Amino acid sequence: MEYGIPDDLIKPEFERRYRELLGDEYETFLSFMAKRPVPSVRINPMKVDPGWLLSVLRASGWELSQIPWYEHGYRVMRGPERLGNTEWHQLGLYYVQEAASMVPPVLLSPKPGERVLDLAASPGSKTTQISEMMRYKGLIVANDVSPERVDSLSSNVQRMGSMNVVITMFDGRRAPDVLGRDSFDKVLLDSPCSSLGEVRRSWGALVRWSPRNVEKISRLQVSLAKAAYETLKPGGLMVYSTCTFEPKENEWVVYKLLQIGAVIEEPEVKGLIWRKGLRKWMDWDFGKEMEKCMRIYPQDNDTIGFFIAVLRKPG
């Protein structure tokens, strides 16, 4: 065993690649990847006065610490073992959601009354967060591709009472044909990915990881990202996010969006530590603009890993 992760899960190419990416921080990175993250919840202010719920939870022994970047997000320092099996969870008063996963909706900054597309929405953590930020007003089209994924999305949308959500089921690459071009104020693509940022919760992503799989997922991500961008109104805002560190799934995809006219915006998130996106990786030069992308490593905020880019369609 090394760093708590079994040796055979760290493939030689993975180690070579991430030592190059992280330099001296590689070992710290791995030590965080081996630790379970502190669980966190997002309180639903549309169903309950957060102050009331906080007082009830604290009175029953929960110890909660506010997440700086989302006003209704809390880390559960002490609480029940199964956060998904409490009265409050079943009533939809909170959602068990990793702290870093609350960042993409914060950057999307949805407003009541807007038209929003969440193209790869299952299981619905971000969809329901967006719905609450919109105070259940306006429209969110929450899509996913398979019946299994749409089922879990439907359950969570119901539980959280997200009345402004319409769930659709189709291959997201067909989004402009199905939903129309230039039709949404805001679009979130929290893309399927190699999920290396999730290793803290399950080592499965390390087992599945290979450069070939990364290439394959990257092609899907570029197609999904272009489709998502096409559905955006001129002047509209798109957030592209993944829970992985692979440049080919992150900066490369954003680079492809810049080539079709997207403009990157500088993200601002209160209390969050993040690194700039990569300007260069292997033989690619993505350009200085790519530094406006956000890389979140596990050791930065003691969360899972994320990559996020905020893009505007000129208009």
Partner 1 sequence: MKEFLEWVRDWFGSEISGVELFPSGKDKIRACSPEAKVEISNVFLRGVYVAKRAPYGFIISIEGSFLIGRSAKKHLVDLSESDFKKWMRGDDIELKLPEKGVYIVRYGEAFAGSGYYDGRVLRNLIPKVRTLEREG
**Residues of this chain that bind partner 1 (CB under 8 A):** 47-49, 52-53, 56, 85-88, 90-93, 113, 115, 136-141, 143, 150, 154-155, 157-159, 161-170, 178-179
Tokens of 40: 């966190």
Question: What does the alpha-carbon distance between residue 198 and residue 187 come to, in Å, rounded to a whole number?
Answer: 23
Q: What is the CA radius of gyration of the chain?
A: 19
Tokens of 21: 């990416």
Question: Of 102, 243, 290, 296, which is the active-site residue?
Answer: 243
**What is the separation of C-alpha 132 from the centre of its chain, rounded to a whole number of angstroms?**
16
Length of the chain: 315
Q: How far is the CB of 113 from partner 1 (least distance, A)?
A: 7
Helix (H) or strand (E) holding 295: strand 294-296
Residue whose CB is less far from partner 1, 175 or 294: 175
Question: What does the alpha-carbon distance between residue 119 and residue 47 come to, in Å, rounded to a whole number?
Answer: 25
Residue whose CB is less far from partner 1, 94 or 255: 94
Q: How far is the CB of 210 from partner 1 (least distance, A)?
A: 33
Q: How far is the CB of 87 from partner 1 (least distance, A)?
A: 4
Tokens of 192: 């399927």
Angle between helices 26-33 and 12-22 (to 10 degrees): 120
Do 33 and 303 contact (CB within 8 A), yes or no?
Answer: no
**How many CB atoms within 10 Å of residue 89?**
17
Residue whose CB is less far from partner 1, 90 or 202: 90
Q: How far is the CB of 164 from partner 1 (least distance, A)?
A: 4
Active site residue 293: no
The residues annotated with a catalytic role in the active site are: 243
